Amino acid sequence: MLIYIVRHGETNMNKARIFQGTFDEPLNADGIKLAEISGKALKGIHFDEAFTSPLSRASKTIEILLKESGNETTPIHVENRIQEVNVGDWTLNHLDDKSNPEYEKIHQFFKDPFSVLDVPNGENVYDVIKRTQDFIKELASRNDDKTYLVGTHGFAMRCLLNMFYEDKKDFWHKHVPYNCCFNILEVKNNNISLVKEDVCFYDKDSVVDYYK
């Protein structure tokens, strides 16, 4: 079994450094383009099933990837457990707004979310680790010979993959996952392993980290 896990394409709020969380922001033109390029790079890979976060930036990315890779008939399932972290009262906060009384805590969240467990009216890192890892373990338990595509978000992706990292306290694994980057899991004999990390199929000059 192979599981391709992808972060959605770019949105205007990514570019503007606005904390989206579960706010349903669509892909922008560049986000669509990244998904199209990535989908073309996946031609020749047959995806038996796809799973997507309910948020449109993830579901649209999955639709484009399947279309451009020649997998238009692949069934897509909406999976709530892989949607982005709910950041509660921080939703739509601007990361550069130093007048925000929560500014320091929000920036600490982007440095070390394990040290920020009191997200007001939202989820903390352990909540998201549990639900995303419950999903991936359930999928991996099928232990079949199929190939799956999973569309999620930056924080949710790092939560899902945290169990594979040698240094689990280095939550962001050096950086927030890039838009339309892939991590690939392989399942053999009920063992799950991370075989490719943060792969981008588009030009490296287009790889941007908006959360530095």
Instruction: Map 88-152 to HEC letters.
Output: HHHCCCECCCCCCCCHHHHHHHHHCHHHCCCCCCCCCHHHHHHHHHHHHHHHHCCCCCCEEEEEE
How far apart (Å, rounded) are the C-alpha atoms in residues 31 and 9?
4
Q: Higher pLDDT residue, 127 or 189?
A: 127
Provide the 10 A C-beta neighbour count for residue 153: 25
Q: Higher pLDDT residue, 205 or 18?
A: 18
Could you tell me which of 99, 95, 93, 90 has the C-alpha nearest to residue 121? 90
| Mean pLDDT of the residues in the chain | 96
For position 68, what pLDDT does the model report?
Answer: 98
Q: Which CATH superfamily is domain 2-205 in?
A: Phosphoglycerate mutase-like (3.40.50.1240)
DSSP category for residue 167: S
Rounded mean pLDDT, 92-103? 95
Residue 159, token pair as written in the block: 């939560």
Q: Average the pLDDT over each of 4-13, 23-32, 66-75, 203-212 and give the range with the smallest value.
A: 203-212
Is pLDDT at 126 greater than 80 in this prediction?
A: yes
For position 210, what pLDDT does the model report?
Answer: 84
What confidence tier does 51 reach under pLDDT thresholds 50, 70, 90?
very high
CA-CA-CA-CA dihedral for 191, 70, 209, 118, to nearest 10:
-50
Residue type for position 136: I
Is pLDDT at 26 greater than 90 in this prediction?
A: yes
For position 205, what pLDDT does the model report?
Answer: 80
Helix (H, G, I), strand (E, B) or coil at 199: strand
Residues 179-211: tens digit of each pLDDT: 999 999 999 988 999 999 999 999 888 888 888
DSSP category for residue 172: T
For position 204, what pLDDT does the model report?
Answer: 82
